[in-house]
Amino acid sequence: MTNLLTAKAPARPARTTARGPRRAGQGGWTPWLYLAPALVVLAALLVYPIYQLGLISFLEYTQAQVSGGQPTTFQGFGNYATLFGDSQFWQVLLATVLFATACVVTTLAVGCALAVLLTRVRALPRLALMAAALGAWATPAITGSTVWVFLFDPDYGPVNRVFGLGDYSWTYGRFSAFTLVLLEVVWCSFPFVMVTVYAGIRAIPGEVLEAAALDGASQWKIWRSVTAPMLRPILLVVTIQSIIWDFKVFTQIYVMTNGGGIAGQNLVLNVYAYQKAFASSQYSLGSAIGVVMLVILLAVSLGYLRLLRRQGEEL
C-alpha cells in the first residue's frame, strides 16, 4: 500500500496552447518560400507597371519627351492639379460612377433572378439556360459589342425593324447610347452572378426553405429574409467584382460609341485616359487618370477585404 501511495504519478502531457504545439519549421520563412514564385510573377507583371504609371504621372511626359526633342522634367503634383482643375474630368468621373452603379445593380438583379429561376425549372430548360448564359460569358467583349451595334443599327438592325423605330440612332443620344452599352455589359456579365448565386442557393439546406414556405412566407419574403442573408458572403463577392469590372469598362464604350460618343458625351474614365494619353499625346495626364482609378479601386477592394474579415469574425 505504501509503495502504491508513494509511487510517482505518470507525467502529464505538456500543455499546449489553443493554437497547438509549434512544429519545427513552422512559421518563419517557409510560407514565403512557397509564395515566392507567385510574388515574383506579380512583381514583374503588376508592381513595375504601377511604379512606371505613378512615375510618369509626376513628370512632364508628352510626345516631345518621347521623341527626345525635350528633356523630361519633374512636375510634382502639377499634373494632378491640372486634372482636378478640369471640369470635364469631374463630369467624366460622375458619369463613370453612375454608369458603373447602374450596370452593377442591373447585373445583380438579372443574375439573381435567373439563379432563382434555375432552381425552379426542369433539367432540360436549366441546361439550355446555362449553355446560353455561358456562351454570352465566353464571347469576347469586342465581338459582343460589334454584334450589339449591328442589332441596334438604324439602317440594318433587326431591333428597329421589329419595333417599328425607323432610322432611330441609339448611339446619337447620350442616355440612349449609355443604355445600349449597359445592356451589352449586363449581357456579358450576368452569367458570372447567375452561376455563382445558383451554386450558393443549391448549398442551402432544403429544410430551411421548406420551413419558411410552411410558415406561409411568400417567395419574395423567403428570398429577402432567408436566402439573401445566407448568401451574403457570395453576394458580397459578386458585388465587389462587378464594381471593379464595370468601373473600368473600356471596350464596350469605345466600340459601341465610336471612341466616347459625339463630343465626348459618353466618356468614362478608361476611355478618357486613353484619349488623353494616346489621342492627345499627354501621357502624364493619362497616367494621372490611371492612378486616380487605381486608388478608387484599391479603396473598394480594401473595403471588401474589411467586410470579409468582419464576417469571418462574426462566424
Give me the pLDDT at residue 92, please. Answer: 95
54 located within any domain: no
Give me the pLDDT at residue 198, please. Answer: 93
Give me the pLDDT at residue 287, please. Answer: 94
Task: Write the CATH number for 230.
Answer: 1.10.3720.10
The C-alpha atoms of residue 251 and residue 96 are separated, in whole angstroms, by 14
* Cα 10 from chain centre: 60
Give me the pLDDT at residue 2, please. Answer: 44
Nearest alpha-carbon partner for 99 in 242, 258, 235: 242
Residue-number span of the structural domain to which 229 is assigned: 73-314
* pTM, rounded to two decimals: 0.82
303 located within any domain: yes
pLDDT tens track for 70-106: 788 898 899 999 999 999 999 999 999 999 999 999 9
Number of domains in the chain: 1
pLDDT tens track for 206-236: 888 788 888 878 878 888 888 888 888 888 8
58 located within any domain: no
Determine the straight-line distance between the first and last CA of the chain, rounded to whole angstroms.
54
What angle, rounded to 10 degrees, do the helices at 174-203 and 141-151 form? 120
Stretches in the chain below the pLDDT threshold 70: 1-27, 311-315
111 located within any domain: yes
Give me the pLDDT at residue 24, please. Answer: 45
**Element housing 59 (H / E):** strand 59-60
193 located within any domain: yes
